[in-house]
């Protein structure tokens, strides 16, 4: 059994004070750092994704047109623009244990980590699916932001790609309680296991 950890979009724009800040986002960053201090060695890969949108244009309709209100379903305020502080990892997240960095968006809507590409290293440009296959990863744990959007999409894609998936319910934060609860139910129905991060790697 080979296991990977997905850290989804723990970025300044998705935490308190950011363009699309989620309550509890900073706590997720800090708790993930604590988790990695004790558990990073349990993973063959720790893969962190970031939205990385173009500064010019609407990124395939992802950004609401200037002067229009976003609907917060398909269109959003400007966020996580490449190279800006909002696109950076939250400072409470210790990056030292991250083995692969994934950028997603880059001119088009992208929610799932599987929509992105590895940035840097020997796997530069590869998709997450290709990396998991190359390393024989069969088990995936997922944490990050936001439960009801990019975490949800990443979990469902991981299940669809044939991985056994666990969602760490104490290491995620969502936009809204109702949509987060719905997303968790959907993930569980799809086959993901919803557990606390202290469950241990051998318990599924």
- pLDDT at residue number 200: 63
The reported pTM is: 0.93
**43 within domain boundaries:** yes
**171 within domain boundaries:** yes
**30 within domain boundaries:** yes
- pLDDT at residue number 15: 97
> Strand pairing partners for 195?
168
Task: Classify 105 as helix, strand or coil.
Answer: strand
- pLDDT at residue number 201: 58
Q: Residue 52 — φ and ψ, nearest 5°?
A: -150, 75
**53 within domain boundaries:** yes
Report, as ranges of residue numbers, the positions in the chain whose pLDDT lies below 50: 202-204
- pLDDT at residue number 4: 98
Please give the tally of structural domains in the chain: 1
**100 within domain boundaries:** yes
**204 within domain boundaries:** no
Dist. CA 126–CA 155, nearest whole Å: 19
Q: Which residues are identified as catalytic?
A: 9, 104, 150
**177 within domain boundaries:** yes
Q: Residue 82 — φ and ψ, nearest 5°?
A: -50, 130
CATH value at residue 52: 3.40.50.850
Domain range for residue 132? 3-199
- pLDDT at residue number 195: 98
**82 within domain boundaries:** yes
Span 89-138, pLDDT tens digits = 999 999 999 999 999 988 788 899 999 999 998 899 999 999 999 999 99
Task: Classify 49 as helix, strand or coil.
Answer: strand
């Amino acid at each position: 059994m080979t296991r990977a950890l997905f850290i989804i979009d723990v970025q300044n724009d998705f935490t308190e004070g950011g363009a699309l800040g989620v309550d509890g986002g900073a706590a997720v960053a800090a708790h993930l750092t604590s988790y990695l201090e004790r558990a990073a060695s349990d993973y063959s890969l720790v893969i962190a994704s970031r939205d990385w949108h173009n500064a010019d244009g609407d990124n395939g309709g992802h950004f609401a047109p200037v002067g229009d209100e976003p609907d917060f379903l398909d269109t959003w305020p400007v966020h996580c623009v490449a190279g800006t502080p909002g696109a950076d990892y939250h400072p409470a997240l210790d990056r030292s244990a991250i083995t692969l960095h994934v950028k997603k968006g880059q001119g088009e809507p992208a929610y799932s980590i599987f929509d992105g590409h590895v940035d840097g290293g020997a796997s530069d440009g590869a998709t997450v699916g290709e990396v998991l296959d190359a390393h024989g990863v069969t088990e995936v744990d997922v944490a990050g932001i936001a439960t009801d959007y990019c975490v949800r999409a990443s979990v469902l894609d991981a299940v669809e790609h044939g991985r056994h998936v666990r969602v760490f319910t104490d290491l995620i934060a969502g936009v809204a309680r109702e949509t987060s609860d719905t997303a968790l139910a959907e993930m569980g129905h799809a086959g993901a296991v919803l557990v606390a991060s202290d469950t241990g790697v051998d318990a599924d």
